[in-house]
Amino acid sequence: MLEEKLKEAIVAELKRQAANDPQSLSVEQTDSLVVKGRIDLDDLAMVIAGAVAGGP
């Protein structure tokens, strides 16, 4: 259950970042996840911490 929540949180955050700056980051989800570009690790870490802590 936690693993699934983490995966969902990570994918959602990466897609959010890509939507905010599509020239710097692209995310394609098929059977796997393909990410190309610059990721804001601070924002990603915050989302992961929130998922682990049980946040939204």
- Each residue's pLDDT expressed in tens, for the chain with a length of 56 residues: 889 999 999 999 999 999 999 999 999 998 999 999 999 999 999 999 999 887 65
23: exposed, middle or buried (Cβ count in 10 Å: 0-12, 13-18, 19+): exposed
- pLDDT (0 to 100) of residue 2: 86
Name every residue whose Cβ is closer than 8 Å to that of residue 6 and which is 6 or more positions away in sequence: 48, 51, 52
Name every residue whose Cβ is closer than 8 Å to that of residue 3 and which is 6 or more positions away in sequence: none
Q: How far is CA 6 from the centre of its chain?
A: 9
Q: Contact 19/1 with Cβ under 8 angstroms?
A: no
